[in-house]
Amino acid sequence: MPGELEILLRTLSAVVVLFLMTKLLGKRQISQLSLFEYITGITIGNLAAYISLDLDAQWYYGLISIVVWVGISLLVDYLQLKSKTARDFIDTKTTVLVRSGKILEHNLRKERITADELMQQLRKNNAFSLADVEFASIEPSGEINVLLTKENQPLTAKDLGLSIQNEHVPQIVIMDGEILDKPLKEMGLDRNWLKKKLDEYSVKQDEIYIAQVDSKQEMYLDLYADHINVNKKKTSPPGELLALLKKCEADLKLYADKTKDKEIKQLHERFSTDLENVLSDMNPMAK
């Protein structure tokens, strides 16, 4: 067999085997890698190159080696699922780098992270001051996660004592002009509902590239004709408007408490009081 043809067949075989083995190993192999997964990925890649190009050796030896490596990886995954001790030994543990604004230098040295690298990662997480950091840790994947102090976290509806309806994941019900029945059924809808909705927008099914429906049964359409915009502007429900106004009121009070400028402090307190009166006048909605 000519060398060029043999290389072609070996490479195609290696691609097929790598694809099947990666499917077997699961999605973790293509996401953030652990230490062992990193080693496995490099080794299997080298073995695939060996299969493709080393014409002097028996090619199936490389396939056997890849299968052995995949078997070891599956065994390691099984041990990690069954034992926390094995998980901690193979993937290592999460390491705390900052606690209550205080850098833990011994942990930085343990993970071989410099102060510059730490500050860079904190800035990526919108923490430009150590005083704003309550907690920071490095995960086994190498990612650094940051928890800001309570006063530096964004206000939420829970902080304001408001109950907001949960949002469900929007579903695509039409793609490439074809109706997708399964997402419709999952949302408790059918083709009759969809037809009535399309009639409201005065569009035909075959004109639609993507149609998406949210938990409030509002539809967003993307047509093949990009110059046409048929989407209706959504109006915020009263509860969401109330939440927004209360957030504005809380932000005004928070800024008034933090500022040292007396004139600005009085101005924000006055605005906060005015907004509080507006919210009070919104009864019974505010109740």
CA torsion angle for 58, 59, 60, 66 (degrees, to 10)?
130
pLDDT of residue 286: 43
Residue 137: pLDDT band (50, 70, 90) is very high
HEC letters along 140-161: CCCCEEEEECHHHCCCCCCCCC
Neighbours of 172 (CB within 10 A): 12
Most confident range, picked from 4-8, 180-184, 266-270: 180-184
Band (pLDDT 50/70/90 cuts) for residue 212 is very high
CA gap 108, 97 in Å, rounded: 6
- For the chain, the structural domain boundaries read 3-88, 95-148, 238-281
Q: How many CB atoms lie within 10 A of CB 174?
A: 23
pLDDT for 226 equals 79
Q: What is the pLDDT of residues 99-109, one digit of tens each?
A: 988 999 999 98
Query: Does residue 287 have a pLDDT over 50?
Result: no
Of 192, 193, 190, 169, the closest CA to residue 180 belongs to: 190
Euclidean distance between CA atoms 111 and 119, whole angstroms = 15
Closest CA to 36 of 147, 140, 148, 145: 140
Q: What are the pLDDT digits (tens) for 155-164?
A: 776 766 666 6
To the nearest 10°, the Cα dihedral for 19, 21, 25, 29? -50
For residues 23 and 77, give the distance between their C-alpha atoms in angstroms, rounded to a whole number: 14
Q: At residue 208, does pLDDT exceed 80? A: yes
Is pLDDT larger for residue 93 or for residue 17? 93
**Least confident span in 31-35, 84-88, 277-281, 282-286:** 282-286
| Residue 111's pLDDT band (cuts 50, 70, 90) | confident
Which class is domain 95-148? alpha beta
Whether residue 19 has pLDDT greater than 70: no
> Which position has the token pair 């060029």?
4
